[in-house]
Amino acid sequence: MRTAQLFFGQNIGDKPGVSDADFRKFTDEVLTPRFPEGLTVLDGGGQWTGPENKLIREAAKIVVLVLPKEGGDTQRKLGRCVRPMSHASTRTA
């Protein structure tokens, strides 16, 4: 079985912004139609050192996608999954 992992931070700028309901809608409308083989969504958290060496933490969603056996247009599908969420975050900010 081939899989891919996608990591989605839930902040918009420096504020929390993507609700569980918003992410569930994104999963239902964007991810599931493109990857009907299956997926798992996990809650997670990320951190990194930002400006001025300040530690920044952020809630995240980790998506494990089951990929089709035949590669075909998998990269294009993955790209099309990431764009809608980043555009939605920009519009909401």
pLDDT at 25: 94
Query: What gap in Å lies between CA 87 and CA 40, rounded to an integer?
Result: 23
pTM: 0.76
Give me the residue label for tokens 């990320």. 46
Asked whether the beta carbons of 39 and 65 are under 8 A apart, the reply is: yes
Is a pLDDT exceeding 50 seen at residue 63? Answer: yes
pLDDT at 85: 56
Query: What gap in Å lies between CA 90 and CA 84, rounded to an integer?
Result: 10
Query: What gap in Å lies between CA 12 and CA 3, rounded to an integer?
Result: 27
Give me the residue label for tokens 């939605």. 88
Mean pLDDT, residues 40-55: 93
Domains and CATH numbers, the chain: 3-92 (3.30.70)
Asked whether the beta carbons of 68 and 74 are under 8 A apart, the reply is: yes
pLDDT at 51: 87
